[in-house]
């Protein structure tokens, strides 16, 4: 059951009460921890920081998976994680940020973890599914009041936003897998 926030915005009038709710702060905590960790994961690929291998070495790994040119696909994957993660952390363009994360996770499941079964202990899809579902849930729920998106129509989340994130992420993943 969704409880309305103690801070309500008047439909179409944009007025906001001064207090934020526990759910607003909870969504902020989820967005910050999840989004910044995803951005860090992308930064490992792009910049070789936080113990990552950087773009050239990551590109070699992508090439070994059948993505050619590997460095280009490593750049796309790294940017999707980095920018998608930052977008979710800020609550900025949340459905688009969620789509970027979902697309990368679909590709990871299709090319790396899918053949290993469900559980991560066996190298399976468990972790990728969890990441994709958190991103999809943020698109569906919306980023909350403590987000840049609160000023935009898509800032409250909903079925259209969730469908957009899942659809765009799925289409991008399908195109990537077909190339």
Kindly give the confidence (pLDDT) of every residue in the chain, 179 residues in length, as a single tens digit, with 9 standing for 90 and above. 444 444 444 444 444 455 889 999 999 999 999 999 999 999 999 999 999 999 999 999 999 999 999 999 999 999 999 999 999 999 999 999 999 999 999 999 999 999 999 999 999 999 999 999 999 999 999 999 999 999 998 899 999 999 999 999 999 999 999 98
| pTM of the model as a whole | 0.88
Query: How many other CB atoms are found less than 10 A from the CB of residue 4?
Result: 8
pLDDT of residue 55: 98
Helix (H) or strand (E) holding 43: helix 22-47
Cα 154 to Cα 30: distance, rounded to the nearest angstrom: 18
Question: Do the beta carbons of residue 139 and residue 156 sit within 8 Å?
Answer: no
Cβ burial 109-119 (10 Å sphere, 16+ → b, else e): bbbebeeeeee
Cα 133 to Cα 33: distance, rounded to the nearest angstrom: 15
**Residue 19: strand, helix, or coil:** coil
Per-residue CA distances from 117 to 27, 49, 102, 169 (Å)? 31, 30, 19, 22
């Amino acid at each position: 059951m969704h409880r309305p926030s103690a801070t309500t915005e008047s439909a179409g009038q944009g007025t906001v009460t001064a207090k934020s709710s526990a759910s607003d702060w909870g969504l902020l905590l989820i967005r910050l921890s999840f989004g910044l960790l995803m951005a860090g994961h992308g930064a490992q690929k792009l910049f070789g920081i936080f113990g990552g291998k950087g773009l050239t070495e990551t590109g070699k790994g992508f090439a070994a998976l059948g993505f050619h040119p590997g460095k280009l696909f490593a750049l796309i994957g790294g940017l999707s994680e980095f920018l998608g993660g930052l977008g979710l952390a800020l609550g900025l363009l949340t459905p688009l940020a969620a789509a970027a994360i979902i697309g990368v996770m679909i590709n990871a499941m299709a090319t790396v973890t899918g053949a290993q079964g469900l559980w991560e202990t066996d190298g399976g899809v468990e972790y990728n599914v969890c990441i994709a579902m958190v991103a999809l849930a943020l698109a569906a729920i919306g980023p909350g009041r403590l987000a840049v998106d609160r000023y935009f129509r898509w800032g409250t989340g909903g079925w259209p936003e969730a469908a957009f994130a899942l659809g765009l992420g799925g289409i991008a993943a399908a195109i990537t897998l077909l190339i």
